[in-house]
Structure 1
Amino acid sequence: MKLVHDWLGPLELPDPARRIVSLAPNATDALFALGLGERLVGRSAFCYRPAETLALPVVSSYTRVRWELLRSLHPDLVLLSTGVQRDLLNELHQAGIPVFPIPLPQSPYGILENLILLGELLGVGERASSLAAHLAERYQRLYGLLPPLRVYLEFDLGGPITVGRGSYVNEALRHLGLVNVYAQHPSSYFTPNLEEVPALHPELVIYEPKPGRSRAKERAEALMGERGWEALLVVTGGDELAHYGPRFFDYLEKLERQIERLEI
């Protein structure tokens, strides 16, 4: 398949690719959602969903690759994301590895656009369009279901990270009817000043722990106590809202149900 990429210029990729290495969880998720999981021959350490991926060799972390292992797998396509993987993308491209970067979405609709993009790239465009339409219907049913609670969202990424204007998570919260206290912040993802958060009057805190963290709710409650915050609290299962593959819509529905059950 011949195409022109905004960053990499003209690309010629196998059509269709049969031996794929995915270095991005969102791409791995999309491959399985499209019924193409059998084409995967390698993954990153962060590609652990669905469970079938765990049998695949780990080719990379998020930003570093095991070159000898990668080459031994003879991939005809390596998928990764933009953003923090940009340097790795350039390394792979300059080394002559066939790569395709999937853009970081600016809204949940961008997740659907990426799904269609990947479907066309891999020769299953009709399947991708059908799945995207189904996910779009599910997403639309969530519109405005929740009261306009002021929300502070915190990802635990070894330190607090939150979201502002231009992030797909901010747009998803707004779609639900919620009001992100940092909705007008000019950075999509940033480290918040925790001392200023109370002055923003959050009524609800959404805390997303690292995946696999034990006793995450107890930790979140302890953090709230240490900070002297009084607000409703919802704790996700970890790497849910931060995941921008097709499963994001499952997690968003789960979040809506969690908030709906709160005594507001």
Structure 2
Amino acid sequence: MQLYSEALGEYVDVPRPLNSIISLDPAATEAVFMMGAGHLIKATDAFSYRPPNAKAIPKIGSYTHVDIEALKTYNPQLIFTSTGVQRDLYKKLINAGFNVYPIPVATSIGKIMDNVIIIGEVIDRKINARRLYLELLSTLTSMRKKREEPIRIYVELDLGGPISPGFPTHISDAISILGGINVFEHIDEAYFSPTPSQIIAQDPEIIIYEPKRGSKMSEASVIDVFRRRGIDVSKAKLRLTPGDFLAHMGPSFITDVMKWLEQAINR
């Protein structure tokens, strides 16, 4: 079956039936499981631990590197990657002779839903994909908020340094849907490192801080992180995520993360 890949700008030969997948994209891994086809995935990247069943699948790489020799032993019919940061990786895999289907990075909530349809077609679970899509749409409709004055929100992800989302991101889009506005909505870059003066100038009402996955930070320790950079956050409401939460681009961003965001904004 020849299926067009927007990322590659060409058709990819997708076997039918498809029985062996390697997923190096956490969002794709989750989507495949949520369509009832998790058994097709034989190995994943280390960050593919959603849903919980995915934790038991062998891990053969990180988000940007993979054990090629281990990959060869699985002899997969298809490999899922993302675009963006994984662009060099999927080019390397294609050059090594692997059959790769890159899934576009989600720059909006709509793109997360579009990717469900794309993945559903690739794995031949079209009815399940459409059902999941409609469930996500229903969830979104129930959460839509509109305010005369959107709540000003600053989001900071600890990715080895402070990183904040700009306009073309699923995070900024989610905040807008929930009645807020990302204080850096005017930034064209998807992700960037704001200076302390930039953050102070935006005077956010809510600060959402995402620590590194597995790090246990208290509110006091996060306040100290900002204080050491010369940023007084005492006037803003501070919200801490569990880590590797907002950055996720799979369907559970809508079903779980956006519900958390809704509560974080409204409480």
Letter in 2 for 1:113: D
For 2:210, give the aligned amino acid.
Answer: E
* Contact 1:20–1:40 (CA under 8 A) maintained in structure 2: yes
Instruction: Give the TM-score normalised by the residue count of structure 1.
Output: 0.94
Report 1:4-153 matches (<5 A): 4-6=4-6, 7=8, 9-144=10-145, 148-153=150-155
Q: % of aligned pairs identical? A: 37
- Structure 2: distance between partners of 1:16 and 1:108: 30
Q: Residue 223 of structure 1: SS of its match in structure 2?
A: helix
Q: Please give the secondary structure, in 2, of the residue aligned with 1:59.
A: coil
Note if contact 2:26-2:47 (Cα within 8 Å) is conserved in structure 1.
Answer: yes
Matched, 1:200 2:202: yes
Contact 2:211 2:217 (8 Å CA) reproduced: no
Instruction: Classify the secondary structure of the residue corresponding to 1:219.
Output: helix
Which one of 235, 252, 262 corresponds to residue 256 of structure 1? 262
Task: Give the match for residue 252 of structure 2.
Answer: 247
Among 166, 170, 176, the alignment partner of 1:174 is: 176
Alignment partner of 1:163 out of 162, 165, 173: 165
Report the alpha carbon displacement of residue 83 of structure 1 after superposing the two structures with TM.
Answer: 0.2
| Separation in structure 2 between the aligned mates of residue 2 and residue 217 of structure 1, nearest angstrom | 51
Q: Distance in 2 between matches of 1:82 and 1:217?
A: 34
For the Cα contact (< 8 Å) 2:166–2:186, is it kept in 1? yes
The SS at the match of 2:60 is strand
Shift of 1:16: 3.3
CA distance in 2, matches of 1:112, 1:16: 24
Q: One-letter code of the match for 1:19?
A: S
Residue type of the alignment partner of 2:238: L
TM-score (norm. length: structure 2): 0.93
In 2, Cα distance between equivalents of 1:24 and 1:91 = 15
Amino acid at match of 1:244: M
Task: Report if aligned partners of 1:209, 1:216 keep a CA contact under 8 Å in 2.
Answer: no
Q: CA RMSD in A?
A: 1.5
Instruction: Say if 1:20 and 1:75, in contact at 8 Å, map to a contact too.
Output: yes
The answer as to whether partners of 1:143 and 1:175 remain within 8 angstroms in 2 is yes
Offset at 1:221?
2.6
Q: Which runs of 5+ in 2 are unaligned?
A: none
Secondary structure in structure 2 of the residue aligned to 1:80 = strand
CA contact (8 A) 1:16 1:121 kept: no
CA distance in 2, matches of 1:78, 1:219: 40
> Does structure 1 conserve the Cα–Cα contact (< 8 Å) formed by 2:113 and 2:251?
yes
> What count of residue pairs does the alignment treat as equivalent?
261
AA aligned to 1:229 is: V
Opposite residue 166 of structure 2, the aligned amino acid is G
Query: 1 CA distance for matches of 2:203 and 2:219?
Result: 22
Cα distance change of structure 1 residues 19 and 190 upon mapping to structure 2, 3 Å threshold: same
Question: Which position in structure 2 is the counterpart of 1:215?
Answer: 217
